[in-house]
Structure 1
Amino acid sequence: METLLLDQDAVEAGAQTTDVIDAVERAFAAYARGDVQMPPKSYIELPQHNGDFRSMPAYLRTEDWEAAGVKWVNVHPDNPTKHDLPTVMGTMIYSDPETAFPLALMDGTSLTRLRTGAAAAVATRHLAREDATSLGLVGAGVQSYTQLDAIAAVRDIEKVVVSDVDEAAVAAFIDRYGDSYDVREGTIEEAAECDILSTITPVTEPIVHAVADGTHVNAIGADAAGKQELADEILRDATLVIDDYEQCTHSGEINVPWSEGLLTDEDIHAELGDIVVGETVGRTDPDEITVFDSTGLAIQDVAAAHVVYEYAAETDIGTPFSFVGSER
């Protein structure tokens, strides 16, 4: 039996957008039902290198399949300027739960980007207005692409307003999507007037101070303690939905006001999985503001890896290699 080596091209080919969204939605449902094992994300801090490693293992069982794996990922902000390397790099080991055989070793960087977009799409499916047609993006990096691709799979997006301090990044985004959507550069305030808003920046001070009535916000950028994109007032007044209690209170969008006592358990409406399985209602008023605090869960990686592996196995993409020897 051989292991599949799946590089970035193979992962992107195998991660069909609608399939990944559906798999990630199933992962949220499994989480709500208690059909997952997901130890807390562990960190190795490397201040001498201005970076860290993160280990994210998980197992989940859905009605049709089960999957297991672990993602080893880093965040090294100095990489692009000092080493000509990406800030974030990840490696995913995808294993057979029955035998523990490593079915695939795959690029976790693109997998992370794709499953993050899928998680926002799941939240948008359950929390945004049905008639939402405009998307605001605060941040024009690579994650903005998967936000648009995934969200457009669950809502009929026509207009996109993108805001970023990096003019080249905005220009590249418009060049890529300008023929498919009504795309224009705008201010943060203009992006926040859209029906749906995704914030995907690494800021540590809020940069979005108001959103329009009825807007759904996917707060993506905060992934460590001290980061925050949305003003406290937005978080306090919105219908606040989180992906995971421990991660969000520690390192999600709500972590700063939570640590300061400005938000409490009473301010959290639900975890997304509870809404997916129907235990809690999502949006109830077309004028309410909804916020999804997305920290990224290991079950999302495993669900996306399942989609990629199944596609690769069926279509003969990737490179098989002998990784595990026979028992002697």
Structure 2
Amino acid sequence: MHTLLLDSGDVDEHAALEDVIDAVEGAFAAFERGDTQMPAKSYIDLPQYNGDFRSMPAYLDTGEWDAAGIKWVNVHPDNPTDHDLPTVLGTMIYSDPETAFPLAILDGTTLTMKRTGAAAAVATDYLAVEDATSLGIVGAGVQSYTQLQAISEIRPIEEVVVSDVDDERVERFVETFEDEFDVRAGSISEAGHCDILTTVTPVEDPIVGLEDVGDHTHINAIGADAEGKHELHDELLQAARIVIDDHEQCAHSGEINVPYHEGVLTDDDIHAEIGEVVIGEKEGRTEDTGVTVFDSTGLAIQDVAAARVVYERASDASDGHPFDLVGADTDTDSR
């Protein structure tokens, strides 16, 4: 039995967004039912290198399938300038829950982009207006591409407005999608007045206010992934129906982390976790719902669910690079 090595190209090819969205939705439901194990994300801080490591293990059982794995990921901001490497590098180990055999080692960076887009798509499906056809994006980095691709899987997006302080990034984004969508550059307010808004920036000073969005805009707040990050003004959060992916993570490092710790927001201001909405315990959008916000920090169960999709599809296509990691004659007790 061999372990399958899947590089970024393999992951990109086989992380079919329709399937990843379904898998992530199933993961959210399993999480809410209590059919997952997901220890808190652990950190190794490396100030001498201006970076850190993060480990994200998880197991989930959807009732139809179960899966296990761990993502090892970093954030090293100096990498691009000092080492010609990406700021974030991720590696995913996908294992058989029954035997613990390492079925695959995958590029975790591309996998993260896919599952993050899929999570926003799941939330959009439950929280955006049914006839949404316009999408605004604030922040034209790499994640913005997957956000558009994933969200357009579940809503018939026609118009796209993208806003970023970097004109070159906006230009590249527009050029990439100009044959598929009516896509143009615009202000934050123009992006925010679309039916759906996704924010994917690293800011700590909020840039999207209540006046910048429409009366029924759904917002996917993706950018906040560490303490102190904060894209949406407090009055916008206070006015919105807030749905989060996980209380502990969002309170620690999600979009709500700053106002939550300052007492501006409390648990009473949080409508639901997305899993509660998926399984029907809490309402998503109703006729009288105004602005909605999905606070997405990214859960390890999403990585495992997405990894399963990639592994199964790559295996069926005989793609990837199989190799003997464990060794056929390995002793069963390696202690």
State the TM-score, normalized to the length of structure 1: 0.99
**Secondary structure of the structure 1 residue equivalent to 2:216:** coil
Residue by residue over 1:164-197, the C-alpha shift from the partner in whole angstroms, topping out at 9 and shown as x without a partner, is 1111111111111011101000011111111000
**Secondary structure of the structure 2 residue equivalent to 1:282:** coil
- 1:194 corresponds to which residue? 194
- 2:255 corresponds to which residue? 253
Give the drift of 1:81: 1.4
- 1:306 corresponds to which residue? 308
Supply the distance in 2 between the matched residues of 1:287 and 1:272 (Cα, whole angstroms).
16
Q: For residues 288-307 of structure 1, what are the structure 2 equivalents within 5 Å?
A: 288-307=290-309
**Secondary structure of the structure 2 residue equivalent to 1:106:** strand
- 1:175 corresponds to which residue? 175
Q: Which amino acid aligns with 1:167?
A: D
Q: Which amino acid aligns with 2:265?
A: L
Residue by residue over 1:137-180, the C-alpha shift from the partner in whole angstroms, topping out at 9 and shown as x without a partner, is 00001100000000000001000000011111111111110111
- 2:235 corresponds to which residue? 233
Q: For residues 130-209 of structure 1, what are the structure 2 equivalents within 5 Å?
A: 130-209=130-209
Structure 1, unmatched stretches of 5+, are none
Residue by residue over 1:269-307, the C-alpha shift from the partner in whole angstroms, topping out at 9 and shown as x without a partner, is 000000000111111135510000000000000000000
Q: Which amino acid aligns with 1:35?
A: D
Give the drift of 1:49: 1.7
Larger mean CA deviation between 172-181 and 43-52 belongs to 43-52
**Secondary structure of the structure 2 residue equivalent to 1:86:** coil
**Secondary structure of the structure 1 residue equivalent to 2:303:** helix
Give the drift of 1:46: 1.5
Question: Are 1:276 and 2:288 counterparts?
Answer: no
Supply the distance in 2 between the matched residues of 1:43 and 1:242 (Cα, whole angstroms).
22
Give the drift of 1:200: 0.1
**Secondary structure of the structure 2 residue equivalent to 1:284:** coil
- 2:74 corresponds to which residue? 74
Q: Which amino acid aligns with 2:40?
A: P
- 1:12 corresponds to which residue? 12
**Secondary structure of the structure 2 residue equivalent to 1:153:** helix
State the TM-score, normalized to the length of structure 2: 0.97
Supply the distance in 2 between the matched residues of 1:191 and 1:50 (Cα, whole angstroms).
34
* Structure 1 residue ranges, 4+ long, deviating more than 2 angstroms after superposition: 325-328
Structure 2, unmatched stretches of 5+, are none
Give the drift of 1:238: 0.4
- 1:243 corresponds to which residue? 245
- 1:262 corresponds to which residue? 264
Give the drift of 1:76: 1.1
Supply the distance in 2 between the matched residues of 1:220 and 1:247 (Cα, whole angstroms).
13
Aligned residues with identical type, % of pairs: 69
Cα contact 1:92–1:106 (8 A) shared by 2 = yes
Residue by residue over 1:61-92, the C-alpha shift from the partner in whole angstroms, topping out at 9 and shown as x without a partner, is 01211000000001111111121111111000
Give the drift of 1:212: 1.0
CA RMSD of aligned residues (A): 0.8
Q: Count how many residue pairs are aligned between Structure 1 and Structure 2.
A: 328
Supply the distance in 1 between the matched residues of 2:242 and 2:127 (Cα, whole angstroms).
10
